[in-house]
Amino acid sequence: MIPDIRAEAPLRAAFRWRIPARYNIGVDVCDRWAAADPNRPAVLDVFPDGRVDVVTYADLRTRSNRIANMLRGRGVGRGDRVAILLPQCREVAEIHIAVYKLGAVTLPLAALFGVEALGYRLADAGAKALITNAAGLAKLRQLPETPPALDLVLSTDGADGAALGFAAALEGASEDFSPVDTAADDPAMMIYTSGTTGHPKGALHAHRVLLGHIPGVQLPHDFFPQPGDRMWTPADWAWAGGLLNGLLPSLHFGVPTVARKFEKFDPEEAFALMARMEVRNTFVPPTALRMLRGVKNPRGRFDLKLRTVASGGEALGVETFEWGREELGLTINEFYGQTECNLVLGSCAALGMVKPGFIGKPILGHEVAVIRPDGSVCEPEETGQIAVKRPDPVMFLGYWNKPEATRDKFIGDWMTTGDRGHADSEGYVRFEGRDDDVITSAGYRIGPTEIEDCLMRHPAVALAAAVGKPDTLRTEIVKAFIVLKPGHAPSDALAAEIGAFVKARLSAHEYPREVAFIDEMPLTTTGKVIRRELRARG
């Protein structure tokens, strides 16, 4: 934990990593609390009909032990990959804990994955077991062939064909289990990159990854935990953001976590859930926050108890930042990271460490800089690539079966991110866009973030993305893809108005010379815009 020092300079001076040589995530987030405070609420599982199951740490220990014994009895052992394809629910937490205690490796898979995406990850990871539901089984059956290493498939909806019933498989499994003695550097989980560019890669993480996340959770949540804190995130627990920014850190701190399955994010339902469940802390990706902005007078309509709102995954934007202060009455703390090395930059309103339009500063314990192609550090205001220095406890062990890709990720000891930005004289870092998202127009290099932030200020715009379109004269022109708010219809006049709106507020070389209206923005499962898909539309 970070010391409770409410001034940035002395806090940085006092912080030290304390990563033990032997460490197991499952023991930390479950067995430790089950021994000290067994009836402490761990997961609040909310069902569509409104019922809430309160899962205690004692429940988590009992269930995870039975799952670990069942998996071991069916041949799953140390280092084997166990895929989890389920929406937010208590079983996801129980399975993760069981697999960690077993010394195996979790492979979280998003419920929104299509058949091809699912098949690729199962085969590439060499998953030995898959725990899913009826919807997941339906996708599995559409694969041309079963992934070669997959020996065991279990369904929480009961036996179905070759899939065993999860509950039935647990019958008779012992509630006693001795966790495997793991090193902090032993593999614990493999999370695939979101695939904004290229083929997804399996980022293999060690048990220490959770401890590495702790300062990056505590600061953006203003010295988390505080008495009465309660966490919820709409982010899928299969994503690093949902799992390592929400579920596991909360369990580590003994903070109850709300689980709620959403078929599709609904801003009205999200506010209602936060009010009903007395959520105090939430991680909401920027795209979902922009959707929440469409709800009028949220504090007047909903009895919100929010203490902190954190956001990351893409640039938040000044407009959404200001909305948080005006409509929610709090500062949205932004943070930054990647699947390979998460929560390394961030803001903390409680420290006054926040600057609109900037992600924030390096989180305690992480060395982050903006670098040039030769690995030298950029001067203030000089644009370069955001990079993180190794060793770092939150950093991945490497890409699964891709040693060359792992080597290519580094320039010396700097892990490159592919994200462009600059730091100011105070050390705040501004995100400008991914390397391959930078638009080159008439000799200017233009990041999409500032353009998209400006587009979001137009009263007709619900969601916006800016990409480069090839142009014989300018190399590229800026093209904007717009999802309109209800009550606004696409037209040439509105397109011209939006272009002029940006031109008047930014500059003549940054405004979109083309505007296309679309019904739905293409997003990854992590809520990031898939700009390559927009570029392909021309």
Distances (CA, A) of 101 to 208, 283, 410: 14, 27, 32
Q: What is the pLDDT of residues 389-410, one digit of tens each?
A: 999 999 999 999 999 999 999 9
CA 9, 10, 11, 14: dihedral to nearest 10 degrees? Answer: 130
Q: Identify the sign of the CA torsion 227, 331, 427, 351.
A: negative
257-260 and 281-283 beta bridge pairing: unpaired
Is the peptide bond between 391 and the residue preceding it cis, with omega within 30 degrees of 0?
Answer: yes
Q: What is the pLDDT of residues 270-294, one digit of tens each?
A: 999 999 999 999 999 888 898 899 8
Residues 112-129 have a mean pLDDT of 91
Q: Is the pLDDT of residue 186 over 60?
A: yes
Angle between helices 134-141 and 115-125 (to 10 degrees): 80
Please say whether the beta carbons of 343 and 359 come within 8 A.
Answer: no
Q: Which residues contact 336 (CB under 8 A, 6 or more apart)?
A: 312, 343, 344, 345, 346, 359, 360, 386, 429, 431
Q: What is the pLDDT of residues 331-359, one digit of tens each?
A: 999 999 999 999 999 999 999 999 999 99
Q: Is the pLDDT of residue 445 over 70?
A: no
Best-predicted range by mean pLDDT among 30-44, 442-456, 512-526? 30-44
Average pLDDT, the chain: 94
pLDDT of res. 152 = 98
Q: Is the pLDDT of residue 215 over 80?
A: yes
pLDDT of res. 449 = 77
pLDDT of res. 196 = 47
Q: What is the pLDDT of residues 78-105, one digit of tens each?
A: 999 999 999 999 999 999 999 999 999 9
Domain pair 22-206 / 438-537, same fold: no
Residues 14-33 have a mean pLDDT of 98
Considering only CA atoms, which of 221, 194, 137 is closest in space to residue 418? 194
Q: Is the pLDDT of residue 167 over 90?
A: yes
Give me the architecture of the 266-436 domain, per CATH. Answer: 3-Layer(aba) Sandwich (3.40)
| Helix (H/G/I), strand (E/B), else coil: 523 | strand
What CATH homologous superfamily does 438-537 map to?
A: ANL, C-terminal domain (3.30.300.30)
State whether CATH 3.40.50.12780 applies to domain 22-206. yes
| pLDDT band per the 50, 70, 90 thresholds, residue 525 | low
Q: Give counts: helices (H), strands (E), the chain.
A: 19, 27
| pLDDT band per the 50, 70, 90 thresholds, residue 194 | low
Residues 240-250 have a mean pLDDT of 96
Q: Tell me the C-alpha distance between 241 and 525, whole Å.
A: 11
Domain boundaries, the chain: 22-206, 266-436, 438-537
Please say whether the beta carbons of 179 and 35 come within 8 A.
Answer: no
Which stretch of DSSP H or E encloses residue 336? strand 332-338
